[in-house]
Amino acid sequence: MSLEDIKNYLNSIRRDFADRPLNEDSVKKNPIDQYAVWFEEAVDSQLLDPYAMCLSTVNKNGKPTSRIVYMRDIINDAFVFYTNYNSQKAGDIQHNPFAALNIHWSELERQIRIEGSIEKVKPEISDAYFEGRPKESKIGAWASKQSDLLENRDALSAKVELFTDKFKNTDDIPRPEFWGGYQLIPNRIEFWQGRPSRLHDRIVFVKEDDKWILQRLNP
């Protein structure tokens, strides 16, 4: 597609949304329970990667960036993912321990926006998760200096070979200290449901004094 074609396509493409209301009567009173209802529907709809979410962080200079990570757990109402503790996201989080998650299930015309503070999970939680990963993924975690410059693909393969050799006689590969989980502790969760004529439903939960307050926003 040429840039001109893309421009024409973007200017002409329009679609309306189905009419599947989200309202104050039907929504759960707790946003985690509501997330569970929608997640089950996403799984039942056989969406690819319903546990994928866009994580946004802001670095020490106030510059935002986003990337996809997999949600791997929900612990005490906090959303957990795993990553490299020396990665760019980890550096951002160290300087600015606030982040946002965005989940978009296009087939269901739904978006969930989650905001809150973020911190490492307890080491034993990361240990337990790491333990359950396939051996190749464990070696991958050891081999990758995530977000650092890489000279070429061969340099990565060499690191993988090195750690494959190091751990060749054991299935008991320890978790690297530089790899583990983060939990985002939400203080705001918005459920967005597409509706016809762009008159979408937006139900937002805001945490105040340890209680979730439900509000509706303009679309």
Residues binding ligand FMN (CB under 6 A):
49, 52, 67-70, 81-83, 87-89, 146-147
Minimum CB distance to ligand FMN, residue 65 (Å): 6
CB nearer to ligand FMN: pick between 27 and 101: 101
Minimum CB distance to ligand FMN, residue 184 (Å): 13
CB nearer to ligand FMN: pick between 147 and 164: 147
Question: In the block, which residue shows the tokens 């203080």?
Answer: 187
Structure tokens at 158: 């060499």
198 is catalytic: yes
CB nearer to ligand FMN: pick between 6 and 68: 68
Nearest by Cα to 80 from 30, 134, 122, 37: 122
Minimum CB distance to ligand FMN, residue 172 (Å): 23
CB nearer to ligand FMN: pick between 8 and 65: 65
Minimum CB distance to ligand FMN, residue 73 (Å): 11
Question: Catalytic: which of 14, 133, 198, 202?
Answer: 198
Residues 6+ apart with CB under 8 A from 53: 68, 69, 70, 71, 79, 81, 101, 102, 103, 114
Q: List active site positions.
A: 198
